[in-house]
A and B are shown apart, each in its own frame.
Chain A
Amino acid sequence: MRDLPLDRTDMRVRLQPTAILAGATLVVLLYALPYVYLLLTSFKPANDVLQIPPSFFPQRLSLENYAGAIGNPSIPGAFLNSLIVAICSTALALVLAVPAAYGASFFPNRLSGWFLLFALVTRMVPSVSLGVPFFSLMRSIGLLDTQLGLILAHTTISLPLAIWMMAAFFESVPRELEEAARIDGCSRFGALVRVILPVVGGGMAISALFAFIASWNEFLYALLLTSQRATTTPIVISEFKTAYGLSWGPMTAIAVLYSAPVIVLSIVLQKQIVGGLTFGAVKG
């Protein structure tokens, strides 16, 4: 099909692939520039961070900002809280979502239809509308400023996400697989665990990644529900601003430390992430 007669527009397009390449490269470089600037700034000595006029490249390299960030007494605890809350809410979301999505997509009926719809509508609920009653609820059961309280709150974000992603992955598994396992003597549950789950392992990994990052990045529930003991990294970052004046140097370092793992993951798993973000809408 490539040998079709070309009209003039196509000639122009084909004759200038270098122009397109140059244009695309320029766009991409401009796009990456803000983050690169943050990265470079974080390696400047603290006093150079706000120099006038600003310089893109550091004149001197220094780890002063990183020392300042890690030396902040709230930071290690906050990173640990972020990690624990994200791991636990991811585990909880997956343990609940995998069987639910399996039930809903392998044995669909009216109830499972409503269930999936409710999970979808949950995604539309503004966080603040759940955050307000969460505060009262957590206070009345003594879970305010605890990791458990925040884990439960974060799972309300990751569970609907995981249910829909896993439902999409189960949809692509042939029904015959379950029937064959049953004929071979598996119970219904055994068929899920021994035959179906190994097939959707990749899907579970991507769902887990999304659940983890949803919790890792979450801000509003953490702001409402924690104050000291269970406080997470984004909250401490936001307080760098208010409590310490504008200590921009350590703030750039902490922003890099907090976002670098996520950025590396985004680049490595780019394809799967785009697929997951659209719930398979692209493939229709």
Chain B
Amino acid sequence: MPQSRFAMLMMAPAMLFLGVMVAYPILLLIDNSFYHVELLKPAVRTWLGLDNYIKVLTSERLEDAALRTLRYTVFALFFELVFGVMAALLFDALGAASRWHRTVFALPLMVSPIVAGILWRFLLIDQVGIINYGLAALHIIADPGAVSWLGNQDIVLYAVSFPDIWLTTSFVALVVFAGLQNIPRDVLDAARIDGANAFQRFILVRLPLLRPVIAVVLIVRGVDAAKTFDLIWIQTEGGPNFQSEVLSMNIYQRMIRYGDVGQASATATLFLAAMVILAVLAYRFTWGKNRDA
């Protein structure tokens, strides 16, 4: 059998599956976005043209949800990266002795967001969670009831990201640690001979060499954070007063609670397009930069 036909034969089943289960549903989604379709009456379809898009794009609730998704993603990503890199540097400084530490750090590596969300909800529960008691004992807050993390509209969006940060700092730390291990020792020694101190070595030598690793972490984690649904849902279901409603949740609510398949599809199409464009741009940007180096 010729090589190309064999390769084709090997790929065909997976292609077929992705075609039927990914490409076709996306076409279905785009198609539905031009119609008025109700969840309970799928057979009745009224052509609307771009009306759904106009409706959702002028919807304040969608605009708020999109901004919240962005704020949530940037906030969570920032702390995951800072904590993760700091932990990785600490492990690297420890050298071989960090094995035990890294094993514990692997603890939440693949824990379900549902469990993390429940856990943190419990830690912050109804203003009487153990965290508030701890903060009160340290006199950081006046009394355990002083801060309602998940009930206060101004901070809830950031409070729901705590489990995300907890869950993912370990991923960032272990990946960046692996990246640090791959930086040749003689490069660092050369920098040391040239008189660079530890901070300068980090900024001028390690950080540039870590760039591809950090780029991958940023893309993978950025996409995941922007898609977040379960972790926030289990904590607040988007409340109070929609203040923790992100895009995924907005689409889910349009579909299930309001039964408007058309508008949900239009929003989901826009979300999908934005994510793919952003991810491809980020990928090309970082990949292109790598090739120069």
Contacts and interface: CB of A to CB of B under 8 A. Distances in A.
Contacts of A251: 118
Interface in B85-122: 87, 90-91, 93-94, 97-98, 101-115, 118-120, 122
Interface string A127-143: 11111111111011000
Contacts of A112: 7, 11
B178 interface: yes
Nearest to A54: B130
Interface stretch (A63-71, A72-80, A263-271): A263-271
A109 B7 contact: yes
Interface in A119-177: 119, 121-137, 139-140, 152-153, 155-156, 159-160, 163
B26 A125 contact: yes
A129 B248 CA distance: 8
Nearest to B277: A124
B14 interface: yes
Most chain B CB atoms below 10 A, which of A32, A248, A282: A282
Most chain A CB atoms below 10 A, which of B10, B90, B93: B10
Nearest to B214: A281
A102 B28 contact: no
Contacts of A262: 110-112
Contacts of A259: 111-112, 115
A201 to B, nearest CB: 18
Contact of A219 (B90, B93, B109, B229): B229
Interface residues of A, number: 105
A99 interface: yes
B10 A9 contact: no
B216 A278 contact: yes
B160 interface: no
A35 B108 contact: yes
A217 B112 contact: yes
Contact of A234 (B11, B198, B227, B230): B230
A13 interface: yes
A238 B123 contact: no
B186 interface: yes
B18 interface: yes
A284 to B, nearest CB: 6
A37 B123 CA distance: 9
Given A213-B110, A219-B230, A262-B110, A37 B130 contact: yes
Given A24-B101, A103-B10, A238-B234, A128 B229 contact: yes
What DSSP secondary structure best describes chain A's contact surface?
helix
Contact of A24 (B21, B42, B94, B166): B94
Contacts of B170: 31
B120 A127 contact: no
Given A7-B197, A13-B93, A237-B118, A97 B107 contact: no
A188 B251 CA distance: 47
Contacts of B261: 132, 136
A21 interface: yes
Given A130-B25, A132-B261, A122 B18 contact: yes
What DSSP secondary structure best describes chain B's contact surface?
helix
Most chain B CB atoms below 10 A, which of A13, A37, A112, A128: A128
Contacts of A123: 223
Given A31-B104, A262-B112, A278-B216, A255 B198 contact: no
B195 interface: yes
B90 A234 contact: no
A102 B32 CA distance: 36
Interface in B229-285: 229-230, 233-234, 247-248, 251-252, 255-256, 261, 264-265, 268-269, 271-272, 275-276, 279-280
Given A54-B130, A135-B255, 14 more contacts: A25-B101, A28-B104, A35-B108, A53-B128, A56-B130, A100-B14, A103-B7, A107-B7, A118-B18, A125-B22, A127-B227, A129-B251, A187-B1, A277-B109
16 contacts: A7-B192, A20-B93, A53-B133, A103-B7, A103-B8, A107-B7, A115-B15, A124-B279, A130-B25, A132-B29, A156-B21, A188-B1, A219-B233, A237-B114, A274-B174, A277-B109
For the complex of A and B, list the 7 residue pairs with the smallest distance between their C-beta atoms, beginning with the closest. A103-B10, A100-B14, A219-B230, A107-B7, A217-B112, A133-B25, A270-B106
Interface of A: 1, 4, 6-7, 9-10, 13, 17, 20-21, 23-25, 27-28, 31-32, 34-35, 37-38, 41, 50, 52-54, 56, 95-97, 99-100, 102-104, 106-107, 109, 111-112, 115, 118-119, 121-137, 139-140, 152-153, 155-156, 159-160, 163, 187-189, 192, 213, 216-217, 219-220, 224, 234, 237-238, 241, 248, 251-252, 255, 258-259, 262-263, 265-267, 270, 273-275, 277-279, 281-284
